[in-house]
Structure 1
Amino acid sequence: MRVFSVMGSPRLKGNTMLVLDNFMKGIRDGHDKLELKSVFLHGKKIEPCAGCDKCKNDGESCVIEDDMLDLYGEVVAANVIIFSTP
């Protein structure tokens, strides 16, 4: 099983990260074969959707060239996505 966690708080050592760390520890303790990936969004350049619908065309990807391009593959490959926000 592939788990992808997204940390949305700007505070790397805050309460949101504490909760996420404990949650991920609980997942690891209960499963043997996990692939865990995570991303810390603070400092990433992620633009809002422009609503151009290019991504809905055959084989085309988002026209916005931001850090989200690196995350799309992780989102698609994940069986579970965890959003951790303040």
Structure 2
Amino acid sequence: MKRWKKEEEEEEEEEEEEEEEEEEEEEEEEEEEEEARHTSHQLLLQGNYQPAPRDTHLGLKIQGWADSWKRRQLTEKTEDV
């Protein structure tokens, strides 16, 4: 009976420690996110903000669309002149 109670108490302590570790990790992640937000905001204010594409394939697609849009704008300008 005493052994069972000790084991139960040890399990509870382990669970509490795990919960504390998880909370600490979550707090660290939140701090890192806040720092990243602050940094990107500062870069935005300085005019140097260039968000990194999350997906390189998507980033390449977007860059391609931007290039084709620029080409279209240039051809329209030359046709108007």
Structure 1 or 2, whichever has the larger Rg, is 2
Structure 2 length as normaliser, TM-score? 0.29
More helix by share: 2
Greater fraction of residues in strand: 1
* TM-score, length-scaled by structure 1: 0.27
Name which structure has the greater RCO, CA cutoff 8 Å, separation 6+. 1
